[in-house]
Amino acid sequence: MPLDLVVNVTIAGVLTGLVYGLMALGLSVIFGVVRVVNFAHGEMMTIAMYAAVILFGAFKVDPFLAVLPVAAVFFALGYALQAGLINPFITRPEHSQFILLVAVATIMVNGLLIGFGPDARNLQVPYQLESWEFGKILLDKARIYAAAAALATSAALFLFFKYSLTGKAIRACADNNLGALVVGLNVKHLYALTFGLGSACVAVAGCMMILLVDVTPNLGPAYTLLAFVIVIVGGLGSMPGALLGGVLIGVSEALAGLYITPSAKSMMSFGLLILVLLFRPQGLLGRKA
């Protein structure tokens, strides 16, 4: 196996992993704080991708710029979804939450099918197919930009949660719900805020993802599953954990694809999930409960 092949594949794995991590970031935030199993996560990202396509089609807005309006809208929608629909389900058993979000996901997927039809949609920006060449090493431009966006978003979130007052309040809710209520925090509002933030993250991920993948109505479920795997592997509620989980999955899948057969590379992520669940259930960077 020539060295440049291994290096190229590993780099690609890291970059792809960062983009996966960006996608999982929103879920980590939501799941880590609100403890709701958001099984409509992938579908939300799919809607964001369609939004980016529409903005590009209508106004020629580059997805990096589209991030701002789309994320803002998603923040609002996420807030409304949590406050309006999901809030009573936090104390309900998991299977109820699950059905609630599966129903929401079904409505989203089929709404997209009705609205957009089954054709794959995409946008075409000039840098999408370009790559930087360093000898035999090729760096895909679109992936580098998306990975950079992932790091930036992750950093922003991290700083928000660590230093801002609202961020600390949210973390307090996550750590101790009862205590937060006692202290007088408006937990319902904070939960909705968190869901909004998580949704905004998903929106950013969608705008990045459309550079790499065409969008179809049923793109969501596979990404929902992947997001959960990454969040659990990386650690609940940990932003660096989501990125790390993503990179780990990306690289292990890439190397498995290289040395074994590519069609079995998804087995790596599930195998990794099983191992983490058994031996380190809090995830790599999560805190022990």
Partner 1 sequence: MNRRDFNKAAAVVGAASAFSPLNVLAQGARLKVGVLLPRSGVQALIGQSCQKGADIAPAVLKQIFGVDIELMNADTESNVDTARTRAERLIQEGANVLVGAFDSGHTSAIAQVAEQRGVPFVINIAAAPPITEQGYKFVFRNFPTAIDLTRNGLSLMGEIFRTTSVAPRSCVFMHVNDTFGQAMSKAIPPTLARLTELPFKILDTISYDPAAKDLTVEVSKAKAANADFLMLVCRLNDAIILRREMAKQRWNPMGIISPGSPGLYEEQYNKALGPLAEYAICNTVWYNPKSEMTKIVGAQFKKQFPKDELTFHGTNVGYTFDAVMIAADAFRRSKSADPKVLAEAIRATDIPVARRMSLGGPIKFNAKGQVEGNLSAAIQNQKGLPRVTLPAQFAESKVIFPSPDYKKS
Partner 2 sequence: MNRRAALMLGVLLVLLVVLPHAVNAYVLSVATLILYLAYTGQAWNVMMGFAGQLSLGHSLYVGVAGYVAGALFFHYGIGPWAGLWLAIVVCVAFGLAIGFLAFRFGISGVYFALLTIAFAEFTRIGFDHLAWTGGPGGMFLKVAQRDAWDLLNFRGPPIMYYYAMLLLCALAFVVCYLLLKSRAGYYWQAIRENEEAAQALGINTFRWKMLAVALSSAMTAVSGVFFAFYYNNLFPEQIFHISRSIEIILGPIIGGVGTLFGPILGAVVLTLLSDGITEALAAMGWEIPGVKQVFYGIVLLVVVIFLPHGIWPTLARRLGLSR
Smallest distance, partner 2 to C-beta of residue 10, A: 23
Binding to partner 2 (CB under 8 A) within 219-278 occurs at 221, 225, 228-229, 232, 261, 263-264, 266-267, 270-271, 273-274, 277-278
Q: What is the DSSP letter of 121?
A: B
What is the contact mask toward partner 1 in residues 175 to 214, using x (rule: CB under 8 A)? Answer: -------------------------------------xxx
| Phi, psi (deg, nearest 5) at residue 60 | 55, 35
E strand or H helix at 236, and its extent?
none
SS3 state at 284: coil
Instruction: Tell which one of 72, 88, 91, 130 touches partner 1 (CB under 8 A).
Output: 130
Q: Which residue carries 């890439």 as its tokens?
A: 254
- Which of residues 96, 110, 176, 186 is near partner 1 by CB under 8 A? 110
Binding marks (x or -) toward partner 1, 235..254, rule CB under 8 A?
------------------xx
CA–CA gap between residue 48 and residue 50 (Å, rounded): 5
Residue 140 as a binder of partner 1 (CB under 8 A): the answer is yes
Q: Is 179 near partner 2 (CB under 8 A)?
A: no
Report the alpha-carbon distance of residue 280 to residue 232 in Å, rounded.
Answer: 10
User: Facing residues of 137 across strands?
Assistant: 134
Helix (H, G, I), strand (E, B) or coil at 139: strand
Provide the minimum distance between the beta carbon of 182 and partner 1 in the complex, in angstroms, as a whole number: 46
CB 245 within 8 Å of CB 283: yes
Measured between alpha carbons, how far is 30 from 280 in angstroms, rounded to an integer? 21
Q: Which residues bind partner 1 (CB under 8 A)?
A: 2, 5, 8-9, 12-13, 16, 110, 113, 117-120, 122, 124, 128-131, 133, 138, 140, 212-214, 216-218, 222, 253-254, 257-258, 261-266
